[in-house]
Structure formats: C-alpha cells, structure tokens
A and B are shown apart, each in its own frame.
Chain A
Amino acid sequence: MAGATSEVSDVLSGELPAPVEFVVRWFPLVIVALLWELASGWVVAESILPAPSAVFLTLVEMFASGELIAALGISLYRVGIGISLSIAVGVLLGIGIARSESVENFFDIFLALLYPVPKTALVPLAILWLGRGTGTAILIIFLACLLPVVLNSYNAARGVDQNLIWSAQMMGTSDRRILWKVIIPDTIPNIVTGIRQAIPIAFIALTGAELIGASDGVGAIILSAGQLGLYPRMFAAIVAISAAAFFVLRGFDEFERRVFVWV
C-alpha cells in the first residue's frame, strides 16, 4: 500500500490526508461511470447500454427482493465446495507426487494431459455426466482449481528442508506423523498461494458452468435476462458476480494477512 500512496502523491506532489488520497486514487472510476452515464441515451441507445444509475437501481431492487441474495448463495456455495474439494485432493496429490515416486509415476501423465485443456471448456461433458445444475458447476470448478493447488503444494513439498525430515525420523517419528507435523505445516504458505491463484479461476469456471450448464445461480440470471431483453437486470447480475469475485479475493488477502503473520 505504501507504493500506491506514493503514486498518488506523485501526481499531485506533496502528502495528502488519507480521505482525500482515497478519493483522488479512486476518482478515475467516477470518471468512467460518468462517461458511461452520459453515453447511455446520448451516444448509444439506453436499451443497448443502460445507465449505471438504472443498473444500480435494479441491483438494489434485486437485493431487496432477496432474489439476488439467493442466487449469490447458490453460486458461492458452488465455488466454496468446488475449491474445497480441489484443496483436499490437490494438496494430497501434490505432496504425494513430490514425496513418492510410485505416486508420481502414476499421476504425472494425467496431470500433463489435463494441464493444457481449458477446464471450463469441459462443461458439455460434465452436463453429459451429471446433468445441468450444481453437480456440473462443482465438477468444473474442482477441475479448474485442481492444478494450481497441485502445482503449488508439489513445489512446496519438494522444497521441504530434508534436514527437518531426517531429524524427525531420527527421533522416531512415524511417516504419517511426519506428513502431518512436518511436511504439511511447511507447505502451508505455498498452498495458500495456490488457493489464491485458484479463486479467480473458480469464478471464471463458475460463470462458464452457470451460463451453459445451470438454470439457477447468478450466471443463469445473466443469460436468461439477456435472452429476455431485460438488460438492466443482466448488467446488475454481472456487477453482482464481479463484486462477489472482487470481495472474495480481497477477503482472502485480508484473511491471509491476519492468519499467516508467522510466515
């Protein structure tokens, strides 16, 4: 944040009080919103580009009616379960591949094959297996988030100080206890990095899955509103899912900052 502060005072030269600085820093967004407001109805027809004020009103309405909260609940539930599954499987797989040659020999080829496939493009396959709905969304989010988690825990487990493991073995610690007491704690910072990388990916996967393979959730609202020509509603839902992605990421950063002071 110190860097950002100096950037703003660079423009205006001199130190500014915090609230003024905040306004100056985020003012470009106000300019963008104003241009948008002016463009709507003047440059482009209002039906094509609803004004931010109209979108905001619709957003408030959808919140007040509880509809948006319910849809966000469904979408965030899918993201939560999908990411949790990918963490549970990904951490074990990453550590397993790093520490055991037979696990590596078995799984390496599948990960290499899965890596270049954009997982969100597998939605039709997921529909074939699980039908439209929550199962499909969770499967796609799980697959999309799996590799960043596996790669980061793999790198971390590779980097565990061998001396730590030897000392633990010397003191007669069992292999299972070494895994839980030595390897996993040492890899946590990298795993956290993996999860952070996975969050934006999860929201892309969620959106793709809900646009194509679900009839509820925020993605489904976006598509149906678009098809019905309810454009302020469509834009409001897009704002809602983007805000959700933004705040989940910010929330995770904050959580990381507070919990992992020791790393």
Chain B
Amino acid sequence: MGVSVADRSLADTAKDVATSIYSLILVLILWEVVGQLGLIYYNFLPPLSDILVLFWELTLSGQMINETILTIKRAMAGLAIGIVLGVPIGLLTARNRLFNWFWNPVIAIGYPVPIIALIPVFMLWFGIGDISKIILVAVATFWPVTLNTRDATRTVDENLVWSARMMGTSDRKLLWRVILPAAAPGILTGIQIALPIAFIATFIFEMIAGGGGLGHLQILGARQFKSTQVYAAIIAIMIVGLVFDRGLRYFRNWLLSWE
C-alpha cells in the first residue's frame, strides 16, 4: 500500500485484480458447468448463461428498465419525504425542550418497529398503488433519519453555538451556517442507513401487492417457477443497490470535503 500509483507497473495491477476476483470467476465457471451438466435441479440454479440471456432480453425489450425505474421512483420519493420530515424533527428534538419531551419516547417506541409489518395496514388505508408504497417508504425511512439527526445535533459543540451567538449571528443563520454543517456527517449516516430500508420496503411491498417493479418481477418468477427471472431480477437489484450505495458515498465525500 505504501507504493505510489505511478511506481506500479501494469503487471502488478493485473496481478492484484486477478488475486481479488479469481474466486468469483471460479465460482461463476463452476455455476455454469454444474448448470449445463444438469447436476443441479434447473429451478434451483439455472446455468448463468441462461440468466444473462434473459436479463439481456428483458433489458432490450425495455421491461427491465421500466421495472427498475418504477422501483427507484417509489423508493426515492419515499426517502425524500422521510428526509424532509425527519431532518427538521430531529433538529428540533435536539434543540427544543418541548419537541425533546414529546419526540424522545415516540422515537424510542417507533424506531424498533419493523415498519414493513405495516404493509397490510397501508394496503387497507391507502390501497396498493404508488401513493401507498411511497408513504410506507417515507414512514420507514423517517425513523433512522430522525434518530441520527437528533443524535448528531445533540453532539454539536455548544462552544460553536455560543461563539456564533456572541458574534451576533441570527437564529436562522445559526441553523444553516453552524448547526447543520456540524451535524451533517451524522445526518448523512442516517440517510445511508435509510437508503437500503427504502429499497427493502419498496421490494417487499411490490412482492405482496404487485403493481410492477423489481420486487414484483422477482416474486412472479418464483410463483411461476421461472427461476431465470428470479435471478435476472436479483442482478438488477444488485446493480441498483451498488449504484445508489456508491452514489451516496461519493455525495457524502463531496459534501463533507471541508472536513
């Protein structure tokens, strides 16, 4: 690790890549061989090539892209609402006595509830459409965002606040220039925790209630014993998860580059 990038030859890099992915390649080859030879029941584990062919077909026909966009829209709309509600309530809970008194016990009880257990309730209240899914995601992501915002705001150095006050900073400026930047790392941690929850809530709702999306695509595959479709949907889920996880990390580093 001490060697600088420039010193490393191409051969070294290739060797590093090879040592870190050889096991994956081995397993993928084994998967294909076992599948092709029919050593394993097709519905459990179809050959990798069959899955990739279906994935490619679904992508070309546009179906995979449509389902993916549907899922992303629901998860992101819900997460956005969760953040818009959670950050201010978390901030106020940390800085305002009345909010603190009211919200602390509510958070203590609400945070551990496995929110996806409310899916049948949401189907009853809001139906099985997009609105219902988005509200569920909002409720599920609200708790981690609120809790982490509250805790991050509580640990903001009071000296910062006092010095800013002393220099005559207005309350509004205090919030935007002092408290929010100081609490930003913790708030972003809350959003990072909320991101997979947003997707889980969306997938599970789609599996139970249908209405398209990657969760629905995957459960249909399982119900109709089209195992290639199950795996193809999981590949898409993996890509979506990877892109959003990495994206949020880059966003975090970019936003906190002053740290």
Contact = CB atoms under 8 A, between A and B. Distances in A.
A140 B180 CA distance: 37
A129 interface: yes
A242 B201 CA distance: 16
Contacts of A106: 23
A207 B145 CA distance: 21
A249 B112 CA distance: 8
B12 to A, nearest CB: 15
Nearest to B215: A121
B43 A122 contact: no
Contacts of B19: 105
A124 B105 contact: no
Contacts of B114: 200, 203-204, 206-207, 241-242, 245
B102 to A, nearest CB: 5
A4 interface: yes
A4 B237 CA distance: 41
Contacts of B119: 211
Interface stretch (A58-66, A187-195, A230-238): A230-238
B101 A28 contact: yes
Contacts of B23: 105-107, 109-110
Contact of B222 (A113, A125, A211, A222): A125
A125 B231 contact: yes
Contacts of A4: 104
B124 A108 contact: no
Contacts of A26: 105
Interface stretch (A7-15, A157-165, A167-175): A7-15
A8 B101 contact: yes
Contacts of B233: 124
B109 interface: yes
Contacts of B98: 11
Contact of A118 (B101, B203, B225, B231): B203
B208 A211 contact: yes
A212 B219 contact: yes
A258 B21 CA distance: 44
A11 B106 contact: no
A261 interface: no
Interface string A196-238: 0000100110111001100000010011011100010011011
Contacts of B63: none
Contacts of B120: 211, 222-223, 225-227, 234
Nearest to A219: B117
B234 interface: yes
B200 interface: yes
Interface string B26-60: 01000000000000000110000000000000000
A32 B241 CA distance: 36
Given A106-B23, A212-B208, A223-B208, A121 B199 contact: yes
Contacts of B245: 115-116
B112 A200 contact: yes
Interface string A97-136: 0000000011111100101111011111101110000000
A11 B101 contact: yes
A208 B242 CA distance: 21
Contacts of A110: 23-24, 27
Interface of B: 19-24, 27, 43-44, 97-98, 100-106, 109, 112-114, 116-121, 123-125, 196-197, 199-200, 203-204, 207-208, 214-215, 218-219, 221-222, 225, 227, 230-231, 233-234, 237-238, 241-242, 244-246
Given A7-B97, A128-B44, 19 more contacts: A28-B106, A109-B21, A109-B23, A110-B23, A110-B27, A113-B24, A116-B245, A121-B214, A121-B215, A123-B204, A124-B218, A124-B233, A125-B218, A203-B114, A207-B114, A211-B117, A211-B119, A226-B124, A238-B117
13 contacts: A10-B100, A29-B106, A29-B109, A113-B24, A116-B246, A122-B234, A207-B114, A208-B116, A211-B116, A212-B208, A226-B123, A242-B112, A245-B112
Interface of A: 4, 7-8, 10-11, 24-29, 31-32, 48-49, 105-110, 113, 115-118, 120-125, 127-129, 200, 203-204, 206-208, 211-212, 219, 222-223, 225-227, 231, 234-235, 237-238, 241-242, 245-246, 249
